[in-house]
Homo-oligomer: A and B are copies of this chain.
Amino acid sequence: MLTGEQYKQSLLDGRNVYFEGRRVENQAEEPAHVAPLEAVAAGYDKYYSADEDAVNPMLTAPRSPEELRDRIPSLMELDLALNVTYQSLMTLIVARNRLTVDSGEFGQRITNYVAQAHRRDIRVVECITDAKGNRSLAPSAQDDPDAYVRVVDRTPEGVVIRGAKLHISAASLAHDMLVMPTKRMKPGEEQYSIACAVPVNAPGVKIVNTTFDPAHRERRDYPISSRLSMPDSFVILEDVFVPHERVFLDGQADQAAVFAHSLGLWERLGGTSFMVQQADELVGLAVLIAEANGLQKVAHVREKIDEMMIHATTLRAGLEAALLHAHATSDGYYYPDELYTNATKYQGATRFNEMVRHLHDIAGGSVLTAPSMADFDNPETGKAVEKYMSTSSSISGEYRARLFHAIRDLTADAFGGWHAVTNLQSGGGLYAQRLVTRKHYDVARAKAYAMDVAGISEADR
């Protein structure tokens, strides 16, 4: 296994990382990338064992509903790179069993790959979303045939791929990228039916980063995003060679969706758990700022907090039901129920903005205009901002300002915008969650109830 320090060294491998028009030689020296780099390194140190055969214990999948449930708290504390590594490896394990064509060879490659990933203690990110071009046209009908990642050449040793993968969290901080098709392909789209593992530093790979990291700002004014930022990557694959042993699907159009579906199983638990905790966090912030403002007994403030509590409880119920009705894969790994998870994600995503509005309504304009923590330090302004941000002898100005900064950072600044969009888009947008609900909802039961209450029998039809 690697220590945090060894991990940091391992990234100096010639990779092509870009940010705001510049090439980033060393992410440790790029202000907007330092915090996430350190967070991933800390994750290495946390699970490090000097034992030669040691493997990170978080990289195993739950074997029972109880284990699935017990895993949640630790899941909430993983750094994002470790979290997606877990999802990537689990995706491979499940996909291995689901592939119906040629599975012998691909299966063995997957087994080998997972074993060496464990052994090398690397971080692996999942790359799904393609550039996509015109959304209403199929891959093969695009003006640019590279709008979806595809095989453009072959050699005796492997394949050459071209295209781009978007919205890839933590790619520049990982070692490998698990490239997989974004969706089911049709006959004639064999070149797009490619899944493989690509080293981040492979020739032809370029990573263009964006981030909500508050670099160049007073970090205490961004108490959350300064800890939790993580670059999102636009991954460019310019005729990248992938050797056969790293290719897990190649040309089986009807199997193209297997990887994305397998990933979905593992992605969901984290996503829903996070939403549940986030809803509680918003309640907590609303209660704390109401108290700090002296508003905690005002009727309309209480009603808004009530609604936030009911919302948070509704999401938690969805998670509970999804865990209670957990399902097992054919090889005995447990994942939460898809109907409950998707319905919960839909509720969480559609009502997130409304809950944020309640929080803003309770907190007031100082969400935007609370002075910087640096103004508290400044002897010319410190006493005055402390005096006027305080609302009583028991609520200090600094404490209240920190609450405002936390609220702004979480909900009304770059990270807030990131949350709003990510809540909607993760797992494919609201429409995708509807499709999954439609697929898993027991419509036969509902129709039977309806016929029954209407007093109509099948024969009447």
> Which of B210, B223, B441 meets A454, CB within 8 Å?
B223
Interchain CA distance A208-B438 in the complex, whole Å? 39
Contact call B224/A455, Cβ cutoff below 8 A? yes
- Please provide the chain A residues from 118 to 173 with a CB less than 8 Å away from any CB of chain B in the complex: 129, 131-137, 142-144, 146-147, 163-164, 166-167
Residue in chain B with minimal CB distance to A426: B365
Q: Mark A21-51, 1 if CB is under 8 A from B, else 0.
A: 1110000000000000000000000000000
Contact call A357/B446, Cβ cutoff below 8 A? no
Which one of A78-86, A242-250, A343-351 is at the B interface? Answer: A343-351
Residues from chain B with a CB closer than 8 A to the CB of A12 are none
Interface size class of A (residues with CB under 8 A): 35 or more
Residues from chain B with a CB closer than 8 A to the CB of A372 are 19-21, 208, 210
Which one of A96-104, A251-259, A284-292 is at the B interface? Answer: A284-292
Chain A contact residues, majority secondary structure:
helix
Contact call B309/A441, Cβ cutoff below 8 A? yes
Residues from chain B with a CB closer than 8 A to the CB of A310 are 343, 346-347, 434, 437
Residues from chain B with a CB closer than 8 A to the CB of A321 are 316-317, 320-321
Residues from chain B with a CB closer than 8 A to the CB of A317 are 314, 317-318, 320-322, 340, 343-344
Interchain CA distance A375-B17 in the complex, whole Å? 11
Q: Does A391 contact B (CB under 8 A)?
A: yes
Contact call B133/A284, Cβ cutoff below 8 A? no
Q: How far is the CB of A262 from chain B (nearest CB, A)?
A: 21
Q: How far is the CB of A367 from chain B (nearest CB, A)?
A: 5
Most buried by B among A132, A347, A402, A425: A425
Residues from chain B with a CB closer than 8 A to the CB of A284 are 443, 445-451
Contact call B280/A446, Cβ cutoff below 8 A? yes
Residues from chain B with a CB closer than 8 A to the CB of A339 are 313
Q: Does A115 contact B (CB under 8 A)?
A: no
Interchain CA distance A325-B321 in the complex, whole Å? 11
Q: Which 4 A-B pairs have the closest CB atoms?
A: A21-B374, A284-B450, A412-B417, A299-B299
Interchain CA distance A325-B410 in the complex, whole Å? 31
Interchain CA distance A215-B298 in the complex, whole Å? 39
Residues from chain B with a CB closer than 8 A to the CB of A429 are 361, 364
Q: Does A416 contact B (CB under 8 A)?
A: yes
